[in-house]
């Protein structure tokens, strides 16, 4: 009887073991069963062909067939959503062919947490490691715009901002929320939005419990009706609600977190804006030109100084009274050596484009209808009058910062994003060559760049905002004054640098970032 019991016990153990093995086998089979939209690659030639024929590819490398299980299930849903816009591929580094491929492309998922690694390839070459949250929304947003900014809600410091995704959620919030709501309607690419987001999220933390500060990306066309309803004509637009009812817009775009918190205590509608006074053509001795009158005016006046300006330009506004006073003397004098004229380059674009006007003010001297000199040094009445009486070529410009050899990377609109996304830490100085504060910062910034030139993950970069198309780039990056320093992580804007503008400040900031990197490495090793 005892032997029979032992036999029965062994049979039960064998059945249990078989059941466990079957469950394990089923889980393996389920793990490797992925969407047909995910490209399974193991051959190096096939991999190269994939990158050659697809422009936007996210590749999951796993240590084994099962180590990427959670990723594969998520990526199957992502692949369905981005179909036609991006490609998702999977390489199992655990099988013999996959191991060879992983070795050739120098990828080792076994060293990664979760035994899986996600790398992105763009236009046939490696672009970046996917380091954003492993969520459906983040991955879809990334594949739809791999070089775009991260979602606002991905920032852990924005946890106290209520992030709204749909119009339905927006209506639901207004209907149920008893507390006052300040809603920030924004677009992910908007420079002013990027600048205000950290301020808004700090205000959300400081006012938590009393008010609700919410954010919503309303740039997609599906929100056009909502934008019309709340007069969203630009980004960001702030709308204040009480018990679901819209009361006011908030328009202080230079606000601090404290300003927002103080306004919420006593919300008032925006004060009427003082209209900008145009340059009066009737009260000014300056001749105001247009595309139509420009050439005939130069034919009539053999010596003319022309100031190309923009109405919003602060330096133009500062120069206007000096230019007006000089015109009173030169344009009305019987023995005048020449005349002063002005042209609004934002309105009369044909002539401005012909003379490649890219910054304001730009002052040019013409003789007998021909352009002779560009004169950046003429900014006050006395120098203008002195020049007109004795026109001389301007002194040769000193060698620009960009022309001087240094370890600073000088970027423009054409290579800005491509260059930054390859660097883990980038401190970018947006500047204007004429700006005194910029000139003071240049040697310190250059020295800091020299100290870190051997570190491939770091770059100190500079953008001349007065050059070519860079003005638009600087506007997009939230530059409202010079110099402006922005910190980027793999091309993604993180924060503005407001520290000391000496060598110690620039180098200390970067050393603190590298110190954090080392702490993370140590922590990961301890976890493993």
| pLDDT single digits (tens) 294-306 | 999 999 999 999 9
Residue 490 resides in a domain:
yes
**Choosing from 93, 102, 193, 438, which is the catalytic residue?**
193
What total number of domains does the chain contain? 4
d(CA 248, CA 232): 12
| 193 catalytic per annotation | yes
Q: Residue 52 is part of which domain span? A: 37-142
Q: Note whether 370 and 423 are same-domain residues.
A: no
d(CA 115, CA 430): 40
Q: Note whether 60 and 119 are same-domain residues.
A: yes
Residue 216 resides in a domain:
yes
pLDDT, tens only, 188-224: 877 778 888 999 999 999 999 999 999 999 988 889 8
> How much is the pLDDT for 29?
39
Six-digit token pair at 422? 């390859």
d(CA 260, CA 199): 9
Q: Note whether 505 and 407 are same-domain residues.
A: yes
The answer on pLDDT for 312 being more than 80 is no
pLDDT, tens only, 46-99: 999 999 888 899 999 998 888 777 788 889 999 988 888 899 999 999 888 899
Q: Within 10 Å of residue 241's Cβ, how many Cβ atoms?
A: 20
Q: Note whether 162 and 235 are same-domain residues.
A: yes
| 93 catalytic per annotation | no
pLDDT, tens only, 26-48: 444 344 456 788 999 989 999 99
Residue 393 resides in a domain:
no
Residue 205 resides in a domain:
yes
| 239 catalytic per annotation | no
**Choosing from 190, 239, 465, 474, which is the catalytic residue?**
190
Span 418-441, mean pLDDT? 91
d(CA 214, CA 181): 7
Final residue of a structural domain among 356, 387, 418: 387
Q: Note whether 444 and 341 are same-domain residues.
A: no
Strands 370-374 and 181-186, how do they pair? unpaired
Q: Within 10 Å of residue 303's Cβ, how many Cβ atoms?
A: 17
Confidence band, pLDDT 50/70/90 cuts, at residue 408:
very high
Put the strands of the sheet holding 458-464 in their side by side order.
409-410, 458-464, 425-431, 484-489, 492-496
Six-digit token pair at 134? 């492993």
| 190 catalytic per annotation | yes
For the chain, what's the residue count? 528
Q: Note whether 105 and 127 are same-domain residues.
A: yes
Q: Note whether 126 and 227 are same-domain residues.
A: no
Residue 123 resides in a domain:
yes
Q: Note whether 259 and 291 are same-domain residues.
A: no
pLDDT: which is higher, 132 or 484: 484
CA distances from 388 to 295, 370, 422 (A): 20, 16, 51
> How much is the pLDDT for 32?
44
The answer on pLDDT for 240 being more than 90 is yes
Confidence band, pLDDT 50/70/90 cuts, at residue 525:
low
Residue 468 resides in a domain:
yes
Residue 394 resides in a domain:
no
Q: Note whether 290 and 381 are same-domain residues.
A: yes
Residue 272 resides in a domain:
no
Final residue of a structural domain among 142, 174, 206: 142
CATH number, domain with residue 502 = 3.40.30.10
Q: Note whether 259 and 188 are same-domain residues.
A: yes
> How much is the pLDDT for 31?
43
> How much is the pLDDT for 11?
58
Q: Note whether 73 and 128 are same-domain residues.
A: yes
> How much is the pLDDT for 24?
44
Q: Note whether 409 and 495 are same-domain residues.
A: yes
> How much is the pLDDT for 308?
94
**Choosing from 239, 316, 438, 465, which is the catalytic residue?**
316
Within 177-313, residue ranges assigned H as helices are: 191-206, 224-229, 257-265, 294-300
> How much is the pLDDT for 414?
87
The answer on pLDDT for 22 being more than 80 is no
Final residue of a structural domain among 342, 366, 387: 387
């Amino acid at each position: 009887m005892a032997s029979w019991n032992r036999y029965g016990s062994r049979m039960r153990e064998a059945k249990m073991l078989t059941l466990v093995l079957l469950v394990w086998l089923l889980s393996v089979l389920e793990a490797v069963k992925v969407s047909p939209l995910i490209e399974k690659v193991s051959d190096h030639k096939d991999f190269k062909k994939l990158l050659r024929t697809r422009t936007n590819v996210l590749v999951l490398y796993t240590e084994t067939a099962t180590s990427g299980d959670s990723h594969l299930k998520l990526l199957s849903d992502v692949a369905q959503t981005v179909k036609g816009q991006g490609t998702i591929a999977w390489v199992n580094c655990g099988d013999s062919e996959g191991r060879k491929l992983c070795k050739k492309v120098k990828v080792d998922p076994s060293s990664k947490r979760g035994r899986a690694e996600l790398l992105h390839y763009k236009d046939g070459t490696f672009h970046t490691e996917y380091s954003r949250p492993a969520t459906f929304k983040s991955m879809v947003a990334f594949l739809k715009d791999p070089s775009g900014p991260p979602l606002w809600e991905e920032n852990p410091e924005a946890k106290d901002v209520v992030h709204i995704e749909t119009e339905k959620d927006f209506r639901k919030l207004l209907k149920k929320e008893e507390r006052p709501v300040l809603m920030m309607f924004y677009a992910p690419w908007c420079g002013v939005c990027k600048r205000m987001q950290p301020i808004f999220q700090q205000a959300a933390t400081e006012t938590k419990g009393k008010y609700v500060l919410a954010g919503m990306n309303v740039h997609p066309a599906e929100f056009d009706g909502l934008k019309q309803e709340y007069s969203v004509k630009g980004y960001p637009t702030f709308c204040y609600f009480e018990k679901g009812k819209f009361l006011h817009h908030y328009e202080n775009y230079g606000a601090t977190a404290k300003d927002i918190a103080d306004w919420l205590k006593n919300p008032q509608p925006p004060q009427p804006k003082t209209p900008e006074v145009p340059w009066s053509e009737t009260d000014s001795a300056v001749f105001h030109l247009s595309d139509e009158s420009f050439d005939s005016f130069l034919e009539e006046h053999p010596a003319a100084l022309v100031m190309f300006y923009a109405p919003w330009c602060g330096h133009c506004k500062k120069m206007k009274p000096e230019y007006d006073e000089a015109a009173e003397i030169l344009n009305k004098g019987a023995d005048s050596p020449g005349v002063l004229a002005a042209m609004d380059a934002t309105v009369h674009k044909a002539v401005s484009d012909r003379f490649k006007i890219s910054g304001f003010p730009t002052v040019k001297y013409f003789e007998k209808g021909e352009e002779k000199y560009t004169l950046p040094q003429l900014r006050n009445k006395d120098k203008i009058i002195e020049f007109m009486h004795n026109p001389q070529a301007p002194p040769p410009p000193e060698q620009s910062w960009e022309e001087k050899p240094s370890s600073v990377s000088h970027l423009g609109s054409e290579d800005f994003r491509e260059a930054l996304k390859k660097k883990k830490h980038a401190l970018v100085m947006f500047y204007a060559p004429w700006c005194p504060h910029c000139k003071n910062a240049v040697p310190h910034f250059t020295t800091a760049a020299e100290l870190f030139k051997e570190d491939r993950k770091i770059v100190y970069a500079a953008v001349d905002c007065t050059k070519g198309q860079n003005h638009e780039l600087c506007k997009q990056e939230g530059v409202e004054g010079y110099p402006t320093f922005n910190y980027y992580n793999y091309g993604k804007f993180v924060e503005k640098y407001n520290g000391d503008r000496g060598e110690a400040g620039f180098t200390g900031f970067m050393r603190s970032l590298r110190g954090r990197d080392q702490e993370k490495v140590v922590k990961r090793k301890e976890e493993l």
